[in-house]
């Protein structure tokens, strides 16, 4: 029987989905990326909000929702069940990195005393001092979590093609993308990626520029919202601790649904 806390979080996520509330501003643009029966990876799935949206804009999609937090994984499973989308969404309890194994999931405790589950990140060992450079905290909770790579995960599951990746993993994006090199080269999936420049530098020894270069050397183009307008970008926004970016490969532009991305890629 799930705990009351799990039930409460799942109910809140389920209700927000039904009311289309608390979704990130990039969410409506998924309809301009997904059609037919795409295979999607939702990496850092949390309570499954993006997974739910994928099922609404692409009712024949197959979605693997990958979440490292044991607590959030229980919430995710309930949310998927309550929405009746279990035939499309497969919850997977794991983190994603550049090699398989085990790491620590570090969850900051906010100054309110509540756990900052949306700010959890993986690490080889517990951080010393401040937990994150972009958040006030009063400590942390540590949990061991299994780690896979996107390439290994797809090979083990016999996934022949990945169409779309949504990734929000609090600074581990460069590490995870290195573990997805084969899928990126083979399938050229559309990617919606939240980039965390401060966390990349402070906890993972990387930079946002390295993340962008990983895509651009493969020929991808990069887009982001500026207010309510989708614009092509060539660098990251530096005055925010994190921001979402779309990466689209020209080789797949002709097969995009009619919409803003197809129009931008033709420009």
Cα-based angle 226, 188, 266 (whole degrees, multiple of 5): 50
Look up residue 167 and give its two tokens.
Answer: 């990734």
Per DSSP bridges, beta strands 221-226 and 164-167 are unpaired
pTM over cut 0.85: yes
In a domain, 101, yes or no: no
Q: How many domains does the chain have?
A: 1
Which has the closest alpha carbon to 255: 29, 36, 54? 36
Strand partners, 222: 233, 247
Cα–Cα distance, 168 to 194 (Å, whole number)? 5
In a domain, 184, yes or no: yes
In a domain, 114, yes or no: no
Whether the CB-CB separation of 47 and 8 falls below 8 Å is answered with no
What lies within 8 Å, CB to CB, of 239 at 6+ separation is none
Look up residue 134 and give its two tokens.
Answer: 């972009």
In a domain, 155, yes or no: yes
Cα–Cα distance, 43 to 24 (Å, whole number)? 16
Cα–Cα distance, 108 to 256 (Å, whole number)? 39
| Residue span of the structural domain in which 174 resides | 4-96+149-266
In a domain, 144, yes or no: no
In a domain, 123, yes or no: no
First to last CA, the chain: 53
In a domain, 193, yes or no: yes
The DSSP code for 115 is: B
CATH of the domain at 201: 3.40.50.150
What lies within 8 Å, CB to CB, of 173 at 6+ separation is 167, 193, 194, 195, 196, 200, 211
Judged by DSSP in three states, 206 sits in coil
In a domain, 192, yes or no: yes
Per-residue pLDDT of the chain (267 residues; tens, 9 = 90+): 789 899 999 999 999 999 988 889 999 999 999 999 999 999 999 999 999 999 999 999 999 999 999 999 999 999 999 999 999 999 999 999 999 999 999 999 999 989 999 999 999 999 988 899 998 899 999 999 999 999 999 999 999 999 999 999 999 999 999 999 999 999 999 999 999 999 999 999 999 999 999 999 999 999 999 988 999 999 998 788 999 999 999 999 999 999 999 999 987
Q: Which pLDDT score, from 0 to 100, does residue 70 have?
A: 96
Query: Looking up tokens 């919202």, which residue turns up?
Result: 225
């Amino acid at each position: 029987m799930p705990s009351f806390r799990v039930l409460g979080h799942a109910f809140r996520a389920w209700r927000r989905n039904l009311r289309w509330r608390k979704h990130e501003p990039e969410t409506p643009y998924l309809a301009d990326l997904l059609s037919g029966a795409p295979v999607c990876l939702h990496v850092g799935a949390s309570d499954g909000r993006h997974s739910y949206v994928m099922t609404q804009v692409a009712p024949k999609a197959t979605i693997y929702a990958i979440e490292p937090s044991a607590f959030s994984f229980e919430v995710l499973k309930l949310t998927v069940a309550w929405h009746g989308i279990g035939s499309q969404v497969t919850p997977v309890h794991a983190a994603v990195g550049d090699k398989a194994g085990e790491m620590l999931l570090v969850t900051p405790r906010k100054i309110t005393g509540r756990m900052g589950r949306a700010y959890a990140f993986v690490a080889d060992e517990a951080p010393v001092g401040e937990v994150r450079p972009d958040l006030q905290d009063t400590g942390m909770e540590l949990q061991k979590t299994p780690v896979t790579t996107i390439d290994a995960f797809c090979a083990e599951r016999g996934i022949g093609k990945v169409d779309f990746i949504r990734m929000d993993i609090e600074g581990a994006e460069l590490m995870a993308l290195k573990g997805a090199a084969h899928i990126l080269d083979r399938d050229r999936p559309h990617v919606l990626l939240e980039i965390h420049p401060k966390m990349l530098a402070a906890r993972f020894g990387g930079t946002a520029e390295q993340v962008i270069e990983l895509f651009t050397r493969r020929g991808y183009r990069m887009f982001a919202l500026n207010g309510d307008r989708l614009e092509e970008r060539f660098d990251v926004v530096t005055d925010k601790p994190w921001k979402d970016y779309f990466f689209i490969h020209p080789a797949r532009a002709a097969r995009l649904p009619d919409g803003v991305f197809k129009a931008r890629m033709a420009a």
